[in-house]
Structure 1
Amino acid sequence: MRASVDSISKLLYITILLLIITISTAVDIINTTQSIKDGDSMASADGSFKMGFFSPGSSKNRYLGIWYNKVSVMTVVWVANRETPLTNSSGVLKITGEGILELLNQNGSIIWSTNSSGSARNPVAQLLDSGNLVVKEDGDDDLENSLWQSFDYPCDTLLPGMKMGRDLITGFDRYLSSWKSPDDPSRGNFTFRNDPSGHPEQILTENSIVRYRSGPWNGLRFSGVPELRPNTLYKFEFVFNDKEIYYRYQLLNNSILSRLVLTENGNLQRFTWTDQTDVWAFYLALFDDYCSRYALCGAYGSCDITSSPVCGCLKGFLPKVPKDWDMVDWSDGCARRTALNCSGDGFQKYSGVKLPDIRKSWLNKNMNLEECKSMCMKNCSCTAYANLDIREGGSGCLLWFSELIDMRQLNENGQDIYIRMAASELDHDVDVRIDSKSNKAKQMRIIVISVVTTGMLLLGLVMVLILWKKKQKKGSKLFNLQKLTIFLSHCYFSTLNCDL
């Protein structure tokens, strides 16, 4: 009998020990027999991220979310039930035998759930060190085989490794959407996504109104985002093929925390965590100046943040409604000074610009620039052309068939575009920017010439006065005013040949 009791005790001890080991080594995973209740949490294996229930700001509502675990400031990066908050602390998260996550309220009703792209014999939900919550077959670490993942459903934050883009086969779209307020994580007014119309570019919309566009991808960066360049913090990539379009970034040093956030005010900002000060330090903003506003200067207008006013017409164009421009309203844009006649037109090169809106453009990846020009010339509706890719001397072709909208002068890291113009408006072999730049150059030349001429006249006058004074010292009769005038006239018309 004693031996039997000892055997049961040993078996119980081993069971408890195995349970403890399982819990301690699998804190980042729940299976179909486990759940997460309000007050519980689940951390990723390296402790970088935590998942549980929280209340944002001053709100009393409860949400299931994921946040940074190693920073002192509560920073939520993903919210499950952002549109259907819990009103108390009764929430429970479970995973079903079909591999579906379900969030239940106090009545056992499902207020949020995932879908599933397949099935699994032993489905589990795991919080990865990247901050990605994944539903998968237990033991299968290939994300391509996952049934569902939170990275496919971003909220307001783009984390390293997260794709922002579209599956061209299924139409599935991954994009950022702002919180409504710091107290309310439901969808706000702003979204930031890749627009596949024409050649892909990133656009910010407020409700359905475009507020910002990045310009098309040119092989190195989006043409209107000079800030997007190689740096010591992160590397980025843009993939565009027959199956998908997406942008993503990876940190070069995994010990650094950095996130890209779409704020409730419609600002896209990057922050990095600073241990010394315990704050998220501002790193950069993608649209933080007046010229970032979509179509600020209207059709055939160009914005230059270094000019005043910032809007000007492209060379060969004039304000469509001059009185509105005088009132600093540029929305009507500019009109051609000389109408096109198709057969006699040419193309003017504009350098260092953000390419115009491409949603009504046409592209060909295989054409060179000369072929691109020829195709545009043959079509009287074609208004401009440019290289699709600027690497290695340029390749590919972009054609525009509408008014050119939302251009800006960048100079550094800008791009070349060739705009259709009447022959009389062409400046052969000269790169032009915008009229305001040309006017500035003319004004500067006039100022320089005026200053130099005035300086020479003053210098000549000083020399004449010195010679006149020397003449007086020789004992000659003092010149009166009339004689001085005659003397100066003589010197001037004889090109200062005053041998006294």
Structure 2
Amino acid sequence: MVMKNARCCMFCVLFFLCFSIHLNLSEGDDSITANQSLSGSLNQTIVSAGQTFELGFFTRGNFSRYYVGIWYKNVIQQAIVWVANREKPISDINSAELKILDGNLVLVVKSQDPIWSTNVSSTNSNSLVATLNDDGNLVLRDGSEPRSSEGFWQSFDHPADTLLPGAKIAYDKRTKAKQLLISWKNSEDPAPGLFSLELDPNGSQYQYIIKWNRTRQYWTSGAWNGHNFSLVPEMTRNSIFNFSYVDNINEAYLTYSLYNPESISKLVINVSGQIKLTSWWQGAEDWNSAWSQPRLQCEVYGYCGAFGTCNQNSSPYCSCLRGFKPKFENDWNLRDYSGGCVREIVLPQCGNGSTSTGKKDKFLQNPQVSLPVNSQTVIAGSAGE
């Protein structure tokens, strides 16, 4: 009888311990605390309180490159909206860990070498909490502060290629600092690509611009007219999105929200150099496009690279001029055409001076094609000449 009671007591203790552990994990499933971490080997994640966003490790394609990112949880086609270590991928997922260390949220590998860090000065690590909010914002704060606090660091201040509702692309008038959306390198590599969106403080009327290689501007939104940016009238031609532009003594920025709380949305500068505003609602099979800028893909500067042509009516848009081939075939398969095209054969005369074929080099007419920016012209007497 004593043995039976002892076994029952032991079972009760074990059950209580297991139940307690389960409670602790459930209470922290949207946060990383000082004594918890995310393990890459266990493919652990945290999920926002409303089950809208998820943070964890991910990879793309067949590459052994892993990243920490945030994505919409309940969307069929996984949409990555933020990436921590986009410039430093992890090669060994089994040794990766995201945890709070020395007052920061840090991504480390087994050797404890930091791959990525929030890099802020904060209080004692033991009191810190990194919480994934239901708006998709990851906030590092003191555990005693309310969840609504901005904390020491937040992912909304360090966007990747995506602007979520409630976030902003700002220009700080005090520090002259800009927040940029920067495209992925290609469809499988979140490293910073060629295209960026920023708020341009040129003159008294600010406007958003898209740049190629952070230098060449090829699109502008126009100035804000009180309802929308002048060259983007589509902003007010819908019943889904509510845009707001703020311009005060400290900063200027654009933000937006959704009229329907059951919908989700993202504004992305994609690998093709366009910004696209899309939405998703329960039961949909794909993202619904509201608008994109520039409106035509072929208006994107340098989209098809050197010796490439862009045709708005073809798929894909890019092709090489006759006698040329893609310089980087794999990149073209990943929708990165920036490497352009190279000659399939060396020109007999222009290339190496050889005339062994007996053929002369000549120009090939390419009608109905617009010339590129900064094109050069040579006058000729006739087409044959």
Asked if these proteins are the same fold (TM beyond 0.5), I'd say yes
**Compared with structure 1, are the counterparts of its residues 4 and 234 closer, same or farther at alpha carbon in structure 2 (3 Å cutoff)?**
same
Distance in 2 (CA, whole Å) between partners of 1:293 and 1:59 is 28
Distance in 1 (CA, whole Å) between partners of 2:250 and 2:11 is 59
Secondary structure at 1:228 match in 2: helix
Is residue 128–residue 141 contact of structure 2 (8 Å, CA) maintained in 1?
A: yes
Matched, 1:131 2:136: yes
- Residue 12 of structure 1 and its aligned partner are, at CA, apart by 6.0
- Residue 52 of structure 1 and its aligned partner are, at CA, apart by 0.9
Secondary structure at 2:57 match in 1: strand
Match of 1:164 in 2: 169
**Compared with structure 1, are the counterparts of its residues 290 and 158 closer, same or farther at alpha carbon in structure 2 (3 Å cutoff)?**
closer
Match of 2:196 in 1: 191
Distance in 1 (CA, whole Å) between partners of 2:37 and 2:138 is 15
Q: Deviations over 1:48-103 (max 9, x none)?
A: 111111111333211111111101112111111000001121211011252x0111
1:330-479 aligned at under 5 Å gives the runs: none
- Residue 252 of structure 1 and its aligned partner are, at CA, apart by 1.1
Is residue 191–residue 204 contact of structure 1 (8 Å, CA) maintained in 2?
A: yes
Q: 2:218 aligns with which of 187, 211, 214?
A: 211
Is residue 274–residue 297 contact of structure 2 (8 Å, CA) maintained in 1?
A: no
Secondary structure at 1:24 match in 2: helix
Q: Deviations over 1:210-265 (max 9, x none)?
A: 01111112222212211121631111111111111111101111211211111111
Matched, 1:239 2:239: no
1:57-206 aligned at under 5 Å gives the runs: 57-89=61-93, 90-98=95-103, 100-116=104-120, 118-119=122-123, 122-141=127-146, 143-198=148-203, 199-206=205-212
**Compared with structure 1, are the counterparts of its residues 154 and 138 closer, same or farther at alpha carbon in structure 2 (3 Å cutoff)?**
same
Distance in 1 (CA, whole Å) between partners of 2:212 and 2:176 is 22
Match of 2:260 in 1: 253
Percent identical among aligned pairs is 34
Is residue 46–residue 129 contact of structure 1 (8 Å, CA) maintained in 2?
A: yes
**Compared with structure 1, are the counterparts of its residues 75 and 330 closer, same or farther at alpha carbon in structure 2 (3 Å cutoff)?**
closer
Secondary structure at 2:63 match in 1: coil
Q: Which runs of 5+ in 1 are unaligned?
A: 295-326, 333-500
Q: Which amino acid aligns with 2:197?
A: F
Match of 1:394 in 2: none
Q: Which amino acid aligns with 2:287?
A: W
Distance in 1 (CA, whole Å) between partners of 2:179 and 2:82 is 13
Q: Deviations over 1:422-442 (max 9, x none)?
A: xxxxxxxxxxxxxxxxxxxxx
Q: Deviations over 1:131-160 (max 9, x none)?
A: 111111114235444111111111111111
Is residue 268–residue 275 contact of structure 2 (8 Å, CA) maintained in 1?
A: yes
**Compared with structure 1, are the counterparts of its residues 16 and 274 closer, same or farther at alpha carbon in structure 2 (3 Å cutoff)?**
closer
Is residue 178–residue 262 contact of structure 1 (8 Å, CA) maintained in 2?
A: yes
Secondary structure at 2:287 match in 1: strand
- Residue 289 of structure 1 and its aligned partner are, at CA, apart by 3.8
Distance in 1 (CA, whole Å) between partners of 2:243 and 2:158 is 20
- Residue 32 of structure 1 and its aligned partner are, at CA, apart by 1.0
- Residue 10 of structure 1 and its aligned partner are, at CA, apart by 6.2
Distance in 2 (CA, whole Å) between partners of 1:291 and 1:160 is 28
Match of 2:44 in 1: 40
**Compared with structure 1, are the counterparts of its residues 37 and 293 closer, same or farther at alpha carbon in structure 2 (3 Å cutoff)?**
closer
Distance in 1 (CA, whole Å) between partners of 2:21 and 2:147 is 27
Is residue 66–residue 79 contact of structure 1 (8 Å, CA) maintained in 2?
A: yes
Q: Which runs of 5+ in 2 are unaligned?
A: 302-368, 375-385
Aligned residues: 299
Distance in 2 (CA, whole Å) between partners of 1:171 and 1:115 is 20
239-248 vs 272-281, greater mean Cα deviation: 272-281
Q: 1:223 aligns with which of 230, 236, 257?
A: 230
Is residue 87–residue 191 contact of structure 2 (8 Å, CA) maintained in 1?
A: yes
Q: Deviations over 1:11-35 (max 9, x none)?
A: 6654443322121122011111111
Q: Which amino acid aligns with 1:18?
A: S
**Compared with structure 1, are the counterparts of its residues 12 and 247 closer, same or farther at alpha carbon in structure 2 (3 Å cutoff)?**
same
- RMSD between superposed Cα atoms in Å: 2.8
Is residue 223–residue 229 contact of structure 2 (8 Å, CA) maintained in 1?
A: yes
Q: Which amino acid aligns with 2:108?
A: L
Secondary structure at 1:265 match in 2: coil
Match of 2:290 in 1: 283
Structure whose alpha-carbon radius of gyration is higher: 1
**Compared with structure 1, are the counterparts of its residues 51 and 167 closer, same or farther at alpha carbon in structure 2 (3 Å cutoff)?**
same
Is residue 31–residue 129 contact of structure 2 (8 Å, CA) maintained in 1?
A: yes
Q: TM-score, normalised by structure 2?
A: 0.71
Is residue 274–residue 300 contact of structure 2 (8 Å, CA) maintained in 1?
A: no
Distance in 2 (CA, whole Å) between partners of 1:212 and 1:133 is 31
Q: Deviations over 1:324-369 (max 9, x none)?
A: xxx977979xxxxxxxxxxxxxxxxxxxxxxxxxxxxxxxxxxxxx
Distance in 1 (CA, whole Å) between partners of 2:170 and 2:102 is 30
Distance in 1 (CA, whole Å) between partners of 2:76 and 2:296 is 32
